[in-house]
Amino acid sequence: MEMMDIVGKAEKLVEAAMKGNDASHDAAHVFRVRDMAVSLALEEGLSSCSDSMEIVELAALLHDIGNPLVNSQQYYKYVSTRKCIVLYCKPSRDPSEEKIVENFLKEVGIEESKKIKILSIIKAMVLQGFKEELGGVACDKYPPEFGVVQDADRLDAIGAIGIARCFTFGGSTKRVLHDPAVKPRSDLSKEQYMKKEEQTTVNHFHEKLLKLKDLMKTKAGQRRAEKRHKFMEEFVKEFYDEWEGRV
C-alpha cells in the first residue's frame, strides 16, 4: 500500500477514535502535532531517510489513540507490545484493547522494523513524558524520531494554541479559572503533579506549560518553543493584571 493511502487510513482512524473528545484532545490536535512533527523532522535533517519521515508521521498521527492520559474522553487504549524498546514498566490495560494501533499497522502492511519503531515512540510518549521527567526517570537517550514527535506534541501545548487548549480542558473538567487562595505548586514530584484536587486552570501554566520550553529535545523544537513561551508569559501577566483590575 502506498504511503499516501496509509496516511489517509490513519487519519480516518484518528477521526473515529477521537470523536466526541473536547477540543483539547481532538483529531485537530493530532493533525497539528503531525504537521509540526514533520516540519521539525525536516529541520532536524531526517528527510535524508524516507523511513524516518514515515515513522515520524505515523507515530505522530497515532500517538493519542487510547492514550490513558485522556482516557476519560475516549475509550480506546494505546497499543502495548513486548517488541517496543522502553525502559519502564507497562501500565495496566484491558488486554482486549491493547492491539488497536498494532493491528492497524499490520493491516496496512507496515514492515516489521518500522512498526516496532512506531509503537516504541507511541509507548514512550506516555512512559517518558512530563510526569516521568518530574520524577527524574525519563530516559536521556532516545531516537531522533521520538524527539521530534514529543516536541511537536509539547509545542501544541504552549503558545496561543496551548492557551486555548488549556482553558478548553479546564472548562470541560469544571475547573475554576483562577483562585488567588490556591497557589501554584512548586518543585512538584510526579505523585504531587497527579493530585489535581483544588487546582485552577491558570495554575496549570505554572505547574506544567511554562516548563515545557526547557524540556524540548530537538534544536528545532527549542527554537519554536521560544516564541510560544514568551507569548504565554505575556498572557499570564495580562491575565493577573486584568483579574486584579490593574488594567
CA distance 192 to 89: 20
Evaluate if residue 139 carries a pLDDT over 80: no
Q: Which residue has the cell 485522556?
A: 70
Q: Give Dmax over CA atoms of the chain in angstroms.
A: 60
Give the pTM. Answer: 0.85
- Answer whether 54's CB lies under 8 Å from 115's CB: no
The pLDDT value given to residue 192: 61
Q: How far is CA 169 from CA 4, 16, 177, 218, 236, in A?
A: 32, 20, 11, 27, 17
Evaluate if residue 127 carries a pLDDT over 90: no
Q: What is the arithmetic mean of pLDDT over 167-195?
A: 83
Q: What is the mean pLDDT of the chain?
A: 84
Q: Please report which residue ranges of 77-158 form alpha helices under DSSP H.
A: 100-107, 112-127, 130-134, 144-155
The pLDDT value given to residue 76: 31
- Answer whether 209's CB lies under 8 Å from 157's CB: yes
CA distance 3 to 212: 32
The pLDDT value given to residue 125: 86
The pLDDT value given to residue 175: 92
Signed CA dihedral, 33, 225, 87, 67: sign only: negative
The pLDDT value given to residue 132: 64
CA distance 74 to 66: 7
62 vs 89, more confident: 62
Count the Cβ atoms, other than its own, within 10 Å of residue 242.
10
CA distance 101 to 122: 9
Q: Please report which residue ranges of 95-247 form alpha helices under DSSP H.
A: 100-107, 112-127, 130-134, 144-155, 159-172, 190-194, 201-207, 219-243
Evaluate if residue 95 carries a pLDDT over 50: no
Residues contacting 90, CB < 8 A, separation 6+: 80
Q: Which among 216, 233, 166 has a CA at the least distance from the CA of 36? A: 216
What does the chain come to in residues?
A: 247
